[in-house]
Structure 1
Amino acid sequence: MSVDTAAAVAERFKELYGAEPEGVWAAPGRVNLIGEHTDYNDGFVMPFALPHTAVAAVSRRTDGVLRLHSADIDGDAGGVVELRVDDLAPESDRNWTAYPSGVVWALRQAGHAVTGADIHLASTVPAGAGLSSSAALEVVVALALNDLYDLGLKGWQLARLCQRAENVYVGAPVGIMDQTASACCEAGHALFLDTRDLSQKQIPFDLAAEGMRLLVVDTQVKHSHSEGEYGKRRAGCEKGAALLGVGALRDVAYDELDAALDRLGDDEEVRRLVRHIVTEDQRVEQVVALLESGDTRAIGPVLTAGHASLRDDFRISCPELDLVVDTALANGALGARMTGGGFGGSAIVLAEAADVETVTKSVEEAFAAAGFTAPRVFEAVPAAGARRVR
Structure 2
Amino acid sequence: MSDRTPSTDTAHVTEAFVALYGARPDGVWAAPGRVNLIGEYTDFNGGFVLPLALPHTALAAVSRRDDGVLRLHSADIDGGVVQLAVDDLAPLTNTSWAAYPAGVVWALREAGHPVTGADIHLTSTVPTGAGLSSSAALEVVTALALNDLYELGLTAPQLAVLAQRAENAFVGVPCGIMDQTAAACCTEGHALHLDTRDLTQRQVPFDLAAHGLQLLVVDTRVKHALGDGAYAERRTGCEAGARALGVTALRDVAYDALPDALETLAASADEAVVRYVRHVVTDNQRVEQVIALLDASDPRAVGPLLTEGHTSLRDDLRVSCAELDLVVESANAAGALGARMTGGGFGGSAVVLTESAMADTVTKSVLAAFAAAGHTAPRVFPAIPSRGAHRVS
Query: Normalising to structure 1: TM-score of the pair?
Result: 0.98
The SS at the match of 2:16 is helix
Q: Residue type matched to 1:16 in 2?
A: L
1:161 and 1:223, CA in 2 relative to 1: closer, same or farther beyond 3 A?
Answer: farther
Note the alpha carbon deviations across 1:76-110, whole angstroms, 9 max, x for none: xx311100000100000000000000000000000
Q: How far did residue 11 of structure 1 move?
A: 1.1
Cα distance change on mapping 1:223 and 1:142 into 2, 3 Å: farther
Q: 2:278 aligns with which of 269, 275, 289?
A: 275
User: 1:145-187, CA deviations, whole angstroms, 9 ceiling, x for partnerless residues?
Assistant: 0000000001111010111100110000100000000000000
Residues in 2 aligned to 1:100 and 1:43: alpha-carbon distance in whole angstroms: 27
1:146 paired with 2:147, answer: yes
The DSSP-based 3-state class of the residue aligned with 1:27 is strand
Distance 1:163 1:270 in 2: 25
Q: Is the 8 A contact 2:14 2:25 kept in 1?
A: yes
Q: Distance in 2 between matches of 1:274 and 1:210?
A: 35
Q: Which residue of 1 aligns with 2:11?
A: 7
Matches within 5 A, 1:102-121: 102-121=103-122
**Which string of whole-angstrom CA distances, capped at 9 and with x for unpartnered residues, describes residues 161-220 of structure 1?**
111100110000100000000000000000000000110000000111110100000000
Query: Quick check: 2:7–2:125 contact (8 Å CA) kept in 1?
Result: no
Instruction: Give 1:386's aligned residue.
Output: 389
Q: Please tell me whether the aligned partners of residues 249 and 277 of structure 1 are also in contact (alpha carbons under 8 angstroms).
A: yes
Aligned to 1:31: 35
| CA distance in structure 1 between the aligned counterparts of 2:170 and 2:25, rounded to whole angstroms | 27
Residue type of the alignment partner of 2:196: T
Matched-pair contact (CA < 8 Å) for 2:258–2:281: yes
User: CA–CA distance in 1 between the matches of 2:266 and 2:199?
Assistant: 33
2:77 aligned to which of 54, 64, 73: 73
Change (3 A) 1:370 1:223: closer
Residue 335 of structure 1 corresponds to which residue in structure 2?
Answer: 338
Superposition pairs for residues 222-371 of structure 1, below 5 Å? 222=223, 227-266=228-267, 267-371=270-374
Residue type matched to 2:317 in 1?
F
Question: CA offset at residue 265 of structure 1?
Answer: 2.0
Q: Residue 68 of structure 1 contacts residue 80 of structure 1 at CA under 8 Å; is this kept in 2?
A: yes
Give the letter for the 2:129 counterpart.
G
1:294 is paired with a residue whose SS is: coil
Q: Show CA shifts across 1:51-99 (max 9, x none).
A: 000000000000000000000002xxx3111000001000000000000
Say whether the 8 Å CA contact 2:7–2:56 is kept in structure 1: no
Residue by residue over 1:336-367, the C-alpha shift from the partner in whole angstroms, topping out at 9 and shown as x without a partner, is 00001111100000000111111100100100
1:215 corresponds in structure 2 to 216
What CA deviation, in whole Å up to 9, does each residue of 1:236-270 have, x standing for no partner?
00000000000000000000000000111253111
In 1, the alpha carbon distance for the partners of 2:266 and 2:337 equals: 37
d(CA) in 2 for partners of 1:268, 1:222 = 26
Is 1:52 equivalent to 2:85 in the alignment? no
* Matched-pair contact (CA < 8 Å) for 2:226–2:346: no
Q: 1:224 to 1:9 in 2, by over 3 A?
A: farther
User: Structure 1 residues 224 and 57 mapped into 2: Cα distance closer, same or farther (>3 Å)?
Assistant: farther
Report the alpha carbon displacement of residue 226 of structure 1 after superposing the two structures with TM. 8.7
d(CA) in 1 for partners of 2:226, 2:103: 16
* Local SS of the residue matching 1:183: helix
Q: Is this contact kept in 2: 1:65–1:117, CA < 8 A?
A: yes
Counterpart CA distance in 2 for 1:157 and 1:226 is: 29
Q: Is the 8 A contact 2:107 2:166 kept in 1?
A: yes
SS in 1 for 2:113: coil
Contact 2:227 2:345 (8 Å CA) reproduced = no
Kept in 2, the 8 Å contact 1:225–1:341? The answer is no
2:296 maps to a residue whose letter is: S
Q: Tell me by how many angstroms 1:224 deviates.
A: 8.0
Q: Which amino acid aligns with 2:323?
A: E
Q: How many residues align?
A: 386
In structure 2, what residue type is equivalent to 1:63?
A: D
Contact 2:227–2:346 (8 Å) recurs in 1: no
Q: Say whether 1:64 aligns with 2:65.
A: no
Q: CA deviation at 1:12?
A: 0.6
Query: Hey, what's the Cα distance between the residues in 1 that align with 2:63 and 2:374?
Result: 47
State the one-letter code of the partner of 1:187: E
Contact 1:128-1:223 at 8 Å conserved across structures: no
Instruction: Note the residue ranges of structure 1 that are not aligned, 5 or more in a row.
Output: none
| Offset of residue 2 of structure 1 | 4.7
Partner of 2:160: 159
Superposed, 1:180-195 pairs within 5 Å as 180-195=181-196
Show the counterpart of 1:22: 26
Deviations 1:303-325 (A, max 9, x none): 11000000000000000000000
Mapping of residues 80-91 of structure 1, within 5 Å: 80-91=81-92
Aligned 8 A contact 1:333 1:351 in 2: yes
Q: Is the contact between residue 171 and residue 226 of structure 1 (CA under 8 Å) also seen in structure 2?
A: no
Percent of counterpart pairs with the same letter? 72
TM-score normalized by the length of structure 2: 0.97
